[in-house]
Structure 1
Amino acid sequence: MQVTFQTRLRDEALYPLLDAIAALYQRLQRRLFVDLYVRRRPVEECKREYIARHGLTARQFNAITYELKGKVRAAEETRQQRSRTLQGQIEATEKAIRKLQREDAALAKGSGQARKLPPHERVERRQRVRFRLHQKNRRLAMLRARLEAAENHQGPSSLCFGSRKLFRAQFHLAENGYASHDEWLQAWREARSDSFFCLGSKDETGGNQTCTLLPGGTLRLRVPNALAGEYGTHVLIRGVRFAYGQDVLGAALAAGQAISYRFVRKDGTWYLHATTERMPAPAVTHRQAGAVGVDLNPGLVAVAEIDRSGNPVGTRHIPVPIQGRRKEQVLATLGEAVADVVAWAKAAGKPVVVERLDFRAKKARLREVSDRHARRLSHFAYASFHALLIARAEREGVEVITVNPAFTSVIGKFMARYGLSPHAAAAVGDRPAGPEVWGAAPVRKRPSATCEESRAARLGRLAPGSPRRAWAEADACFIRVSLRGRPRQGGTPIRSGTGGCRLARPGAGWSGLGPGVRSPGANRREHRSPGVVS
């Protein structure tokens, strides 16, 4: 897994050199975008020309090309996601229009709930409904036009080096805090030359030919030939120390791995980002031991430990108050919850099981849902939680299994019997199933009875003592016991925020149903007490 670590460069005497390199790299990257994606020139032809004309090394040109392709690929993915978002918004708007049309028809006929309204109030409500219907039709036409334009787009994806937001700020200088156009122009030029990239390779010394980390915290930077007359061919940056990840970078250097470096200027200060592959930690979990199911909800993370048979042995609720918080606070809160989950799984020696969810389609329909539901969905940071969980688990040697979220809440009907909260029951439902996860099931030594034979056994249609009747009764008993599980003592589910779970073992006289729970068919006529009527 790729990891990135950051440190601040304290030697301000090197800042003019870094500014010059960033300006050169970014200027050539914008020119290369035109050559590769507008004029469609071959990259080999551009490489020979740029090396000879602009004073670059081959590795420096490769780094500029690699970064440019990443930006173009990200822009293309953004455009495709934009089309999917527009399609979802169109479907949601069409659904809202159909609902308003039905409401308008009911108000016009005076049927349904509209029958109870006074005539003048019915007229006023219909006017409001027709106005909303008109606005929805306008929005639908606008969305369809945008989708058609996005689908008919030809040529490369558009890129704005420096961000569109800053580019549009020149038309409203005072609102964006600029005293003059010259001040904005200075900010625009700085934004377009605020970083440069050094591509690493495992077949090069120190994992990177252009930028090499030497022993003792010294970084050797290769200066482009276009700037070598003023700054020399190489520059040494001393005192480079990473507060986090120094051991990972040291292991990467010892193993001969590739290390890529990115120099970033932020608020007048230069930072160094080092990216490499983290060596995987030894696995400390086993699927045969069970699993730790995780269910993320707005406001809490439900965790349930499951044994090798799929039965819960303990649950916990971890509060994650993220609504109304900044992005940094949300990531910190989710990180603490992820650390607790991974520590539990590591101590139990069981893998973490989490649902594979995607809320992009639902978030595209926020306009047509209630305000409360929209706030809950917009604050639901599942992608960040999943990324943090994967990174932490890999660092600790804990396996993460993603499962299909379909039918994971079916176990919720057993929450009263298990003594679980709804969220903990959903976490239990996340447990994976199938021979590809837990291994093949043991082969039965006798033929399985059909549903008709099981029903015939209950009705007594099979002869007593026959082998087929014995097999049918055994199958019915197996199904009945597997569905009942182990009930807890008490008839109502636990819904406390503490997440405590106490599983009760069946005692003497246990009938398979908790207190206060009637058995199926208890209200039939043949089962009623004398004197009970319908």
Structure 2
Amino acid sequence: MKVTINGPRYYKEELASGAFDLCIQSICCYNDFKIQMYNAIYANRYLPGSKGDILGLKKITYSAWMKEYGINDYYSTSLYAEVTGLLSSQREFRKWYLARIKDDLAARKRKIISLTESLTKLRAIKQTIVSYVRTGKFKRPYKGCMMKISGQTAFPGGRHVYALEEYERLVEQRIRNTNARLHNVQAAFRRRECKLEKLGKSNPDRILFGSMAFYKTKDTVGCDDTWRREFHRRRYRTMQATGRHTSRYGNYLVHPDETGNLHWDLPKGMGTVVFPKFHLARYEAEWRACFQCSKDLRQAVSYRMKRMTDGNGREYLIVSANFDLPDHEASADLSEGCISCDLNVDHLAWVEVDPSGKLLRYGKIPFDLEHKSSTQRNQIIGDVVSRVAVLNKETGRPLVFENLDLTTKRASMKYSVKRSNFLVSSFAYQKFRFHLDSQGSRKGFSVLYVDPAYTSFWGKLLFMRKYGISVHTAAAYCIGLRALERLDELIIPDVYGHLLDSKKQTGPYYAAEKDVALYKKLSGIRTHAFYLDLPDLGTVTKLKDWLRQNDKSCPAWYTAAL
């Protein structure tokens, strides 16, 4: 795992005479060349008429251009790596953004279908009321509609009662509102489609060094001397020296000496600047081990010089080192079983599974991330991961977690339930994964990630009632079985298999992505109903009728919905 650790601050008076100004000039020279190189490579790749022109230069060669800026081959390597990294990041961000737009379009399309169905039902209710007024006979508007009319009174369902004329006006108002809402969503859908088509044909956006957000402030605060100085400081802020493992100290431009000083060779013949008493905030021993070893084991160490300003407006320099931490992770050996975990918004459910797939023990670790700051969340998540690491230390079994990608889920939150959106937004999966990988590297435990598709569904069907556990603990058990490849434990019982077509009733169903038919059939049944001993009735309709009569814990509103 790569880490970037900062060294101490160096103010102007702490360096040799003139060294601070030389560093600032070097950073400006480095960034001038980086901006020119970025523009040239961007034009060469994306703008027409520059395919035969290396780096977009017509009147000057690349080597002469390097000589003009005083850039040697080592700095050229750092510059090229940084520039190509910027271009690659723009392309990847573009792919991610296009995927987000496609997911957003899918969410809008589902909303259009939902609004269209609602509008059709409302119009059917309106037509039923008109027909009732004319003929005096009530006809159910559509299948499953709970509305009834008796005399001049309308019963739309539930406890609400309206006069027929009043209810008709209410339905007309809902039709107008739904129709307007539908037109707005359709217009937004067309705009997003046009944007997707336009982005698919255009080139990636060009980077504005110094940040686009700050550059736009010139229109509000004014482009005065203060703004120009701040923009210049943001634009010319860092300088990088890429490491090479073939160098004696892991870097040809930067190297420490025996007295604890750090020497940095500046570009354009500006000499060498010495940073006295250089040390890292942490991982000092690991940093020195990268180059204080044999030639075969030597590792590259990259350095970055940053130009910063403290709260009093004083400028200082800070040098950070980037290097690989030694791999302390244990081998991911599943021959002894595993500790599988299911991560939720407010708790982490875990189970211990032996090599044969037997459930040994289980538990949960509660936590609360709602309305917490970023620092508090990091502390809470770190504590939870530490408690999970204790389980690994006690048993020696590797940890198994679900491999989630919430990009699609968060892109489709546009028309979801407010509470559901809040829970998805509060789900700090990436922070959990970062802490797992970080602590795993330091403490020496391994983490495996598996696809969690439909594990909650199969846990609900197969293991909730069998072991008397919650649906989240059952899902964690399914995650462990999937990691251990225990397919024999994931066979549909006959009581559920008979609900499928005859061609789909046999064989092990390892994760329902192979056949989502059963998931769709049983999606209307609440989770706690699966604690009951369900009979083999053959059809979902008969099963729901049985639940309506025998599920005593089922709320009245849910019984009516069944």
Measured in 1, the distance between the counterparts of 2:62 and 2:251 equals 19
Alignment CA distance shift 1:267-1:338 (3 Å):
farther
* Residue 405 (structure 1) shift: 1.1
Q: SS at the partner of 1:9?
A: strand
* Aligned equivalent of 1:320: 367
Other structure's SS at 1:430 match = helix
Q: What does residue 37 of structure 1 align with? A: 42
**CA 341–25 in structure 1, closer or farther in 2 if over 3 Å, else same:** same
Deviates more, 1:321-330 or 1:358-367: 321-330
Match of 2:93 in 1: 78
Q: Deviations over 1:391-417 (max 9, x none)?
A: 321333322221121232213342343
The yes-or-no answer on 1:385 pairing with 2:428 is no
- What amino acid sits opposite 1:83 in the alignment? L
Q: 8 Å contact 1:294–1:354 — kept in the other structure?
A: yes
Spell out, residue by residue over 1:458-492, the C-alpha distance to the aligned partner (whole angstroms, 9 max, x if none).
xxxxxxxxxxxxxxxxxxxxxxxxxxxxxxxxxxx
Letter in 2 for 1:168: K
Q: Identify which of 227, 249, 255 aligns with 1:212.
A: 255
- The residue number in structure 2 matching 1:250 is 288
1:463 corresponds in structure 2 to: none
Map 1:104-143 to 2 at 5 A: 104-110=119-125, 111-112=141-142, 115=147, 116=156, 118-143=167-192
Question: Is the Cα–Cα contact under 8 Å of residues 329 and 446 in structure 2 kept in the other structure?
Answer: no
Return closer, same or farther for 1:318/1:216 CA change in 2, 3 Å cut-off. farther
Q: Is the 8 A contact 2:10 2:275 kept in 1?
A: no
Q: How far off is 1:119 after superposition? A: 0.6
Residues 423 and 267 (structure 1), Cα distance of their counterparts in 2 relative to 1, 3 Å cut: farther
The answer to whether 1:273 aligns with 2:320 is: yes
Within the candidate set 170, 174, 194, 2:218 is matched to 170
Name the counterpart of 2:193: 144
**Partners of 1:329 and 1:107 in 2: CA distance:** 48
Letter in 2 for 1:415: M
Return the letter of the residue paired with 1:34.
N
- Aligned equivalents of 1:191, 1:331: Cα separation in 2: 29
Tell me the equivalent position of 2:399. Answer: 352
Q: Percent of pairs identical after alignment?
A: 22
Q: Is the counterpart of residue 238 in structure 1 residue 276 in structure 2?
A: yes
In structure 2, what is the Cα distance between the partners aligned to 1:433 and 1:192? 50
In structure 2, relative to structure 1, the CA distance for the partners of 1:96 and 1:407 (3 Å cut) is: closer
Distance 2:237 2:339 in 1: 44
Aligned partner of 2:82 in structure 1 is 67
CA deviation map 1:57-100 (0-9, x unaligned): 21011111111111111111111111111111111111111111
Listed as ranges, the matches of 1:79-478 within 5 Å are 79-110=94-125, 111-112=141-142, 115=147, 116=156, 118-154=167-203, 157-173=205-221, 181-225=224-268, 228=270, 233-254=271-292, 255-268=297-310, 269-281=316-328, 283=330, 286-409=333-456, 410-413=458-461, 414-433=463-482
The number of residue pairs the alignment matches comes to 438
Q: TM-score, length-normalised on structure 1?
A: 0.75
Alpha carbons of 1:309 and 1:104: their partners in 2 closer, same or farther (altered >3 Å)?
same
- How many Å apart are 1:27 and its aligned residue? 1.6
Query: CA deviation digits over 1:364-423, x for unaligned, max 9?
Result: 111111111111112222122223212321333322221121232213342343243332
**Distance in 2 between residues matched to 1:135 and 1:49, nearest whole Å:** 58
1:23 Cα deviation (Å)? Answer: 1.8
- Amino acid in the other structure paired with 2:381: L
How does 1:483-494 map onto structure 2 within 5 Å? none
Q: Counterpart of 2:280 in 1: which secondary structure?
A: coil
Any unmatched runs of 5+ in structure 1? Answer: 174-178, 442-450, 452-494, 496-515, 523-534
Matching residue's letter, 2:433: H
Q: Work out whether residues 47 and 61 of structure 1, in 8 Å CA contact, stay in contact via their aligned partners in 2.
A: no
CA distance in 2, matches of 1:280, 1:401: 16
Q: Per-residue CA shift, 1:220-250, capped at 9, x if unaligned?
A: 1011125x1xxxx111101222221112112
SS of aligned partner of 1:160 = coil
Kept in 2, the 8 Å contact 1:50–1:61? The answer is: no
- CA apart distance, 1:359: 0.8
Q: Residues 108 and 329 of structure 1: is their aligned pair in 2 closer, same or farther, counting only changes over 3 Å?
A: same
Measured on the aligned residues, the alpha-carbon RMSD in Å equals 2.9
**C-alpha offsets along residues 92-121 of structure 1, whole Å, 9 cap, x if unaligned?**
111111111121122122135595371110
CA distance in 1, matches of 2:119, 2:146: 10
Once the two structures are TM-superposed, the CA of residue 322 in structure 1 deviates from its matched residue by 2.2
Letter in 2 for 1:312: L
Q: Is the 8 A contact 1:299 1:319 kept in 2?
A: yes
- Range with bigger deviation, 362-371 or 339-348: 339-348
Residues 127, 192 of structure 1: CA spacing in aligned structure 2 closer, same or farther, 3 A cutoff?
A: same
Q: Which runs of 5+ in 2 are unaligned?
A: 45-49, 126-140, 148-155, 157-161, 311-315, 489-493, 495-527, 538-562
CA gap of 1:75–1:282, structure 2 versus 1, over 3 A, is closer
Mapped to 2, the partners of 1:386 and 1:217 lie a distance apart of: 36
How big is each residue's C-alpha offset from its partner over 1:478-525, in whole Å with a ceiling of 9 and x where there is no partner? xxxxxxxxxxxxxxxxx9xxxxxxxxxxxxxxxxxxxx9658569xxx
Which of residues 2, 23, 27 in structure 2 aligns to 1:22? Answer: 27
1 CA distance for matches of 2:98 and 2:404? Answer: 20
How far off its partner does 1:11 sit?
4.1
Contact 1:355 1:402 in 2 (8 A): yes
> Which residue does 1:57 correspond to in 2?
72
Assess if the C-alpha contact under 8 Å between 1:301 and 1:317 holds in 2: yes
**Residue 282 of structure 1: CA displacement?**
6.0
Q: Are residues 412 and 265 of structure 1, via their aligned partners in 2, closer, same or farther at CA, if it must alter by over 3 Å?
A: farther
Query: Normalising to structure 2: TM-score of the pair?
Result: 0.72
Are 2:307 and 2:317, in contact at CA under 8 Å, matched by a contact in 1?
A: yes
Q: Distance in 2 between matches of 1:17 and 1:320?
A: 51
CA distance in 1, matches of 2:334, 2:276: 47
Measure, in 2, the Cα distance between the counterparts of 1:46 and 1:345. Answer: 59
Alignment partners' CA distance in 1, 2:378 and 2:285: 24
Contact kept in structure 1, 2:348 and 2:365, CA below 8 Å: yes
